[in-house]
Amino acid sequence: MTTHVLTKEQSGPGWSPDAEPVLRVAPGTGERIAFETDDAAYAQMEEFRDLSKVTATLNPITGPVFVEGAESGDALAVTIHDIELAEQGWSLYIPGAGALADPMGEEFYVRRIPVSDGVVRLTDSISCPARPMVGCIGVAAAEQDMSTVMPSYPTGGNMDLTDARPGSTVYLPVQVPGALLAIGDIHAVMSRGESSFVAIEIAGRATVSVDLLKGKNLRAPRVDTGDEIVCVGLGDPVQTSIDRAYEDLFAVLTDERGFSAGDAYTVMSALAHTELGGPTGSVAPDPLHPFRAIGQVTLARIAKDVLGR
C-alpha cells in the first residue's frame, strides 16, 4: 500500500482555492497520506509570552492535496487511520481566548505536557489516556480563504471535534476542483467543546485515505465514527446551528436510510442527541477580538445501529 508523506515544511497558514497542491491522488485507491504537523507557535509562546512576538503560524495545515475527479457538489470522505504523537504536548492560555478568559486574566500560562506510552501527564498527580484527534481538517472554499483559527466553515476548518479520531471518516463538502484537502492541529487529548480554546496541543502525524462521493451535496461536514453518525450544524445565533444539525441528521434518516418523516421524527425525539461542538464559532470574529467566537458549532448524533434496524 502506497503511503505519501507530507512534511511540516509543506504547510501553510490557511485554506485557499488558489493554493498550489503539494500532492495529487486518485480517490478510492486505498493509498494513505501522512500529514505531519507542527507546534512551533507554542514553543514561541513559551519563550515570548507575547502573541505579537510569535512569528510561527498558529495551527498550520499541511497540504493541500488535489483529489482527482473532485468537483463542486461532491463530498470528500477522509478516513483517519492513525495519529502518531510527539513525546511532549502543550497546555497554554492565550489571554482573552476561550470560556475561561475571565478567571485566567491577562497573563500567558504555558505548561509542557509529557506524553508517552499512550498516557498524557496533565499534572504531577493527574494523568489520562491519550485520545488523539485532528483539530483542523477541511477543503478549500470557493469564494474565500479560510482561517486555521476561527471560524469553522461549511467545508471544514478548525472544527476541533473529538470525533475526528482514528477509525472515523470525516465527510467534507467539495466546492473547488480537486477539493484541496489539508490537515493540521493535532491534539493528544481534548475535552468535548474545548473549554479553554486550546487543548493538549502536540506535534504529530495523521495518516488518512481519501474517497469521493459524487453529487453528495452536503451542507456541512459530517463524521462517521463507526458507532455514530454526527452531523455538524453551523449558525448564528446558536439556535440556528442546533436546527441545522438536527435537519441534516433528519435528512440522513429520511433521504439516505429510507425512514418516513414520521418514523424519523419519532426516533430522533428518543435517540438523537445534540451537544455544542468546538469553540471556534461559525462567523468570522471581530478583528478587535480575534479569539472571541461568534455563532456556534453544534453536533447532532445518532447511533448507527438504530439506522440499520
pLDDT 10s per residue in the chain (309 long)?
679 999 999 999 999 999 999 999 999 999 999 999 999 999 999 999 999 999 999 999 999 999 999 999 999 999 999 999 999 999 999 998 888 999 999 999 999 999 999 999 999 999 999 999 999 999 999 999 999 999 999 999 999 999 999 999 999 999 999 999 999 999 999 999 887 889 999 999 999 999 999 999 999 999 999 999 999 999 999 999 999 999 999 999 999 999 999 999 999 999 999 999 989 999 999 988 888 899 999 999 999 999 986
Supply 274's cell numbers.
Answer: 445534540
Domain assignment present for residue 7? The answer is yes
CATH number at residue 59: 2.60.120.580
Q: Which domain holds residue 40?
A: 3-218
Evaluate whether residue 288 is within a structural domain: no
In a domain, 256, yes or no: no
Judge whether 259 lies within some domain: no
* pTM of the predicted model as reported, rounded to 2 decimal places: 0.96
Please indicate, yes or no, if residue 258 is contained in any of the structural domains: no
Tell me whether residue 269 is in a domain: no
The candidate with the shortest Cα–Cα distance to 64, out of 76, 53, 55, is 76
Q: Which of 143, 235, 167, 181 is nearest to 61 (CA)?
A: 181
Name the domain count of the chain: 1
1 touches 25 (CB < 8 A): no
Q: Is residue 162 within 8 Å of 301, Cβ to Cβ?
A: no
206, 80 contact by CB (below 8 A): yes
Considering the domain boundaries, does residue 257 fall inside one? no
Q: Is 301 a domain residue?
A: no
DSSP string for residues in 109-151: EEEEEEEETTEEE-SSS-EEE---EEEEEE---SSS-EESSS-
CA distances from 144 to 19, 208, 276 (A): 12, 26, 25
